[in-house]
Structure 1
Amino acid sequence: MRYKVSHIIRVNYNPLVRLAHFNLRLAPIPWPGQQVDQYELAVDPLPDRREERPGAYPFKLVRVEIMKPISTLEVRSTFIAEVGDAELDFAASGLTIAQVAKAALEVRRLDAMAPPHYLFPSRLLPATPQIAQWARPLLPPDADCLSSALALAQTIRSSFQYDTSATQADTPVADAFAIRRGVCQDFAHVLIVALRSVGLPAAYVSGYLRTYPPPGQPRLVGADAMHAWVALWCGPQRGWVGIDPTNGVLANADHLVVAMGRDYSDISPIDGVFVGGASQKTYNSVDVSPIDTRTMAS
């Protein structure tokens, strides 16, 4: 499936910002089954300095510096992507949870995709006993790793309520778990903590999800949102597999990967520091448009 993706971030400041340094993580990374073309990142006003480099984890970092006073910052990220469905044979024998946990500890490399980075508590995801206790019966050591993780994601999908007003970006994972409410970020964080509690490498993935309008209704431009799901390392043969707990499915041709980190704080689309601006308001507009005419006509 081919898509055209447009993501606009607009930040209004009051009063003016006199000096600003921003980190942007919006350029899609290479990912199996995903090809990206025609990527463009535009910043208005034009930065005084712009630097691009690989991130500490699998993301592309763009750092911009604006020296002049501004009241509005606008970032536009656009690209074309072709994504295929993951080809996974569940009938084939996979590794058990205990086998994957053991294999992860035996990995000796430390590149950005290395599973040891994603085994341990991270900034937003401390060890959380209540999540570990809840997940333990669903993740027995002798169970198939991928099947069990997907079943746990489906449990989150059925027992947690999607509620955009229940949490904020900085809501602790224990709080979101306690109320069984939140958004895709919260559901991904809960699943990651659960998987790590039994020794499985689990990472936070940000990207885009093609959404479908209700039957008979037109697709709304800009109605899509940046999405989050989980990457689970399933051993040296299967490698990383995407699992979407918000929808209870494996990541597929509707999921477009942008970045991967230990939790949201590693790969937030924009952060930074500025001088001035006692208040700010941020607006996001995301549009994921299918451009494969054959698929659209079917």
Structure 2
Amino acid sequence: MTHRTTYSYDDDVRSSFGLAHLRPRELPWQQVSSRGVSIDPAPGDITDDTDCYGNVVSYFHVNEPHLQLTIDAASEVSVVPTTYDQDALAEPWERARPILNPTISPGAWAATEFALESPKARHVDAAHEYASASLTLGRPIGEALTDLMHRIKTDFHYDKTATTVTSTVADVFETRAGVCQDFAHLALACLRSHGMAARYVSGYLATRRTPGKPRLIGADASHAWVATWIPGSDQWLAFDPTNDQLVSDRHVTVAWGRDYGDVPPVKGVIFTEAKKSTLRVAVDVAPIEDEPQG
């Protein structure tokens, strides 16, 4: 799995400070064989750390003047499907509200933060009303979440031109279109506005090879989905509203937080007189058996 981010400028950048969430997490269902980040020009300082959510974060400082900055990440992971406690999923969704039910499960305290409003997943009235059709009184958690996922896929159109990185949940309701980041934020607002705890998950989705055709290198992209806290089991049910499916062994988890603002692939600050810049991103997620033989 590779992820290349390239920034190009029309004047020298004197200094560049960056933060990257590009190293996949070690998880019970995801084993990481290797993960590395390289930067060109070589940074004078690069340090890996762990943030408050347990994500691996790379901090770097490039102090050599440059017109182009390239950040390459390469990882090898093994993912297995997650199995869920079916009895926990059969509980009424109202029980999965950690602020209202703080003693229902040992993990309720840790889930509480993810039931609160966050900057990119505001609890707009449209989200609360939209979710009400799925979160009916006494409905099982698993059934309610699946229904909400189906409806988002049906009612909202995937369109890369409909939104930008600054678009809000209200914007997505107005356009009825967006990308995976938008649909994840929409789902978060829907669930949290009713008191449920849900977190934003950033990662990758491996595409399937078209029969008779080579797999397109670089056709994959960064992806986002949602994981909702399930009391009793203290599991987090992960679902992908963009593709209307529960998260599977094709989903590679990199990081999670309250919303995109906590876990962007790359962000930073530059010192320059440049007036124009361009960004190019290429991601490739390939099964090991698809790799070319040497």
| TM-score under structure 2 length normalisation | 0.92
**Structure 1 position 144, deviation (Å):** 1.0
Q: Which residue of 2 aligns with 1:212?
A: 208
Q: Which residue of 2 aligns with 1:143?
A: 139
Q: Which residue of 1 aligns with 2:67?
A: 71
CA distance in 2, matches of 1:110, 1:15: 54
CA distance in 2, matches of 1:63, 1:102: 33
Unaligned runs of 5+ in 1: 294-298
CA distance in 2, matches of 1:206, 1:107: 29
**Structure 1 position 92, deviation (Å):** 6.9
Q: Which residue of 1 aligns with 2:283?
A: 286
The answer to whether the 8 Å contact 1:146/1:234 transfers is no
CA 1:153–1:42: 2 relative to 1, 3 Å = same
**Structure 1 position 83, deviation (Å):** 0.6
CA 1:102–1:201: 2 relative to 1, 3 Å = closer
The answer to whether the 8 Å contact 2:13/2:65 transfers is yes
CA 1:215–1:292: 2 relative to 1, 3 Å = closer
Q: Which residue of 1 aligns with 2:112?
A: 116
Q: 1:81 aligns with which of 77, 85, 97?
A: 77
Aligned residue type for 1:142: G
Unaligned runs of 5+ in 2: none
The answer to whether the 8 Å contact 2:89/2:142 transfers is no
Q: Which residue of 1 aligns with 2:34?
A: 38
Q: Which residue of 1 aligns with 2:148?
A: 152
CA 1:198–1:67: 2 relative to 1, 3 Å = same
Q: 1:226 aligns with which of 203, 212, 222?
A: 222
* Percent of aligned pairs with the same amino acid: 32
Aligned residue type for 2:139: A
Q: Which residue of 2 aligns with 1:50?
A: 46
The answer to whether the 8 Å contact 1:104/1:115 transfers is no
Q: How many residues align?
A: 288
**Structure 1 position 38, deviation (Å):** 1.5
The answer to whether the 8 Å contact 2:11/2:67 transfers is yes
| TM-score under structure 1 length normalisation | 0.91
The answer to whether the 8 Å contact 1:176/1:182 transfers is yes
Of residues 181-190 and 82-91 in structure 1, the stretch that sits farther from structure 2 once superposed is 82-91
**Structure 1 position 107, deviation (Å):** 6.1
Q: Which residue of 2 aligns with 1:296?
A: none
CA distance in 1, matches of 2:220, 2:15: 32
Aligned residue type for 1:284: V
**Structure 1 position 185, deviation (Å):** 0.4
Secondary structure in structure 1 of the residue aligned to 2:133: helix
**Structure 1 position 137, deviation (Å):** 2.1
